[in-house]
Amino acid sequence: MTAPSASPVRVRVVLAEAARQRAVLGSARAELAEQTQVGDALVRGLVRAQLGLALRLSFVVAVGLGGLPLLFVVAPAVARATFLGVNLPWLLLGVAAYPFLLGVGFAYLRLAERNEQDFTELVQRPER
C-alpha cells in the first residue's frame, strides 16, 4: 500500500475507477445503502411526497369534519335542518362521518402505495 512505485499505483486507480463507474450505473440501490448524496436526495424526495400526501388528506378531513362545529355556530339553520325526521348534525356526526373517514383512509392507502411503487421503480430501473 505504502510502496511509492509508479506502475502498481496506476493499475489500482484504474480498477477503482471502473468499480465506481459500475456502482453508479449498477443501481440506485447501492446509492441508498451507501448514503451517497444521490441516495439521500432520493429518500428526501420520497419522504416529502408521502408527507405532502398525508398533509393534503389531513386538510380534507380538517375542512370536511373540523369545519362542522364552526358551521353549526355560524349557520344555525343548518343545525336545525332535518332529513327524514332526523336533525342534520346527528346524521352528519352519527353516521356520515365514518364512511367519510374510511374513504379518506382508502384514498391514502392507494396513493401512498403508488408513491412507494414509483420509488421502487426509480431505484430498480437501471437493473433492467
Partner 1 sequence: MGASPFTAPAIVAVTLATVAIGVYGLRLARTTSDFLVASRSVSPAWNAAAIGGEYLSAASFLGVAGLILKHGVDVLWYPVGFAAGYLALLLFVAAPLRRSGAFTLPDFCEARLRSRRLRKLATAFVIFIGLLYLVPQLQGAGLTVSTVTGAPYELGALLVGAVVTANVALGGMRSITFVQAFQYWLKLTALAVPAVFLALQWQADGRPAVTPPEGMTFMRTTTVVAEHAATLTFPDRSTMEVRAGEALTFPAGTPVPKVSGVASTGGFDWLLPGDDSEDRGLFATYSLILATFLGTMGLPHVLVRFYTNPDGTAARRTTLVVLGLVGMFYLFPTLYGALGRIYTPQLLLTGRTDAVVLLLPGAALGGGLAGQLLAALVAAGAFAAFLSSSSGLLTSVAGVISTDVLSRGSVRDFRLGAMAAGTMALVLALNVSGLDVSRVVGLAFAVAASSFCPLLVLGIWWRGLTDVGAAAGILVGGGAAVAAVLVTVLGPPLSGWPGALVTQPAAWSVPLAFTVMIGVSLSTRARAPVDVGRTMLRLHAPDALRM
Q: Where does this chain bind partner 1 (CB under 8 A)?
A: 29, 32-33, 35, 39-40, 43, 46-47, 50-51, 54, 57-58, 61, 65-66, 69-70, 72-73, 76, 79-80, 87, 89-90, 93-95, 97-99, 101-102, 104-106, 108-109, 112-113, 116-117, 119-120, 123-124
H runs (alpha helix) in the chain: 6-26, 28-33, 37-64, 67-74, 76-80, 88-91, 97-124
- The nearest distance, CB 21 to partner 1, in angstroms, is 23
How far apart CA 8 and CA 10 sit, in angstroms, is 5
Q: How far apart are CA 34 and CA 31, in angstroms?
A: 5
Whose Cβ is closer to partner 1: residue 23's or residue 108's?
A: 108
Cβ closest to partner 1, residue 13 vs residue 117: 117
Q: Over the Cα atoms of the chain, what is R_g? A: 28
